[in-house]
Amino acid sequence: MKFVLASHNPRKLEELQTILQQLGVEIVLQSQLGIDLEPEETGTTFEENALIKARAVMEASGLPAIADDSGLCSEALNGGPGVYSARYGGPDLNDQQRYQLLLQSMRGQLSRKASFVSVVACAFPNGDVISARGECEGRIGFTPVGEDGFGYDPIFLVPECKKTFAQMTPEEKNAVSHRGKALRAFAGELETYLNGRQAR
Ligand code: IMP
């Protein structure tokens, strides 16, 4: 079965292909099909936004489409920036300005508890939908630490690893990260779905 990934990012494709390869499915990027869609993420949950993206690309391609949505939720900010993580502070900020803004908002807050959340969803042309969620619990640091990664990685500390995401190798991060967990859970959901279809 052929799937399209609702993304333009070849690294996301690689990550997904590695995890789904044992299911024998073919996955292409939306850009490889000439689909130039960036649907507005109008949902208030990660699940809604992942499905908005997956459905839009499924409708444009006629193929089952996989999309993800993720973000950082802090207890002190009532779950924020949450689904707004990519847009926190407005579109003109870069990753570093964005995490500095979050550090400022956290000043004086009693709780530094936070979790990264990722939801991976697939919309099928027959209307079926599957999705999986992964979470990684941690703390928001007081200053950025580490050189690797992207986004909020330097300020997200995973206590059991005693490292921020930005201090981890890709393998270390993948083992504990919200996205790694969501993708592995998604692979299980997809396998169950495909086996169920074969049995019908
Ligand atoms: P999305 O592309 O709408 O899912 O936006 C997710 C946003 O959340 C990204 O732009 C990052 O700011 C943030 N984010 C998600 N996952 C991570 C991660 O693993 N490390 C750091 N930041 C992340």
CA 182-24-118 angle, to 5 degrees, is 10
The 8-class DSSP code of residue 149 comes to: S
Name the residue with the closest Cα to ligand 1, atom 3.
69
Residues in contact with 91: Cβ distance below 8 Å, sequence separation at least 6, in sequence order: none
Name the residue with the closest Cα to ligand 1, atom 10.
86
Query: In the chain, how long is the greatest CA-to-CA distance?
Result: 57
Task: Determine the pLDDT at residue 13.
Answer: 93
d(CA 29, CA 10): 7
Phi and psi angles of residue 46, each rounded to the nearest 5 degrees, phi first: -65, -40
The 8-class DSSP code of residue 81 comes to: B
In DSSP terms, 133 is beta-bridged to 119
CB 42, CB 52: distance < 8 Å: yes
d(CA 121, CA 132): 7
Task: Give the torsion through C-alpha atoms of 107, 148, 151, 118, to 10 deg.
Answer: -110
Which of 52, 74, 85 for mutating ligand 1's site (highest number of atoms within 8 Å of CB)?
85
Name the residue with the closest Cα to ligand 1, atom 2.
69
197 Cα to the center of ligand 1, angstroms: 33
Decide: helix, strand or coil at residue 200: coil
Burial of 198 (0-12, 13-18, 19+ CB in 10 A): exposed
Pocket, ligand 1, Cβ cutoff 6 A: 69-72, 85-86, 116, 149-153, 165, 177, 179
CB 121, CB 66: distance < 8 Å: yes
Q: Would you please indicate which residues are annotated as catalytic (active-site) residues? A: 69
Mean pLDDT by 10 residues, the chain (200 residues): 94 89 93 95 98 98 98 98 97 97 97 98 98 98 95 97 96 95 97 88
13 Cα to the center of ligand 1, angstroms: 16
CB 75, CB 41: distance < 8 Å: no
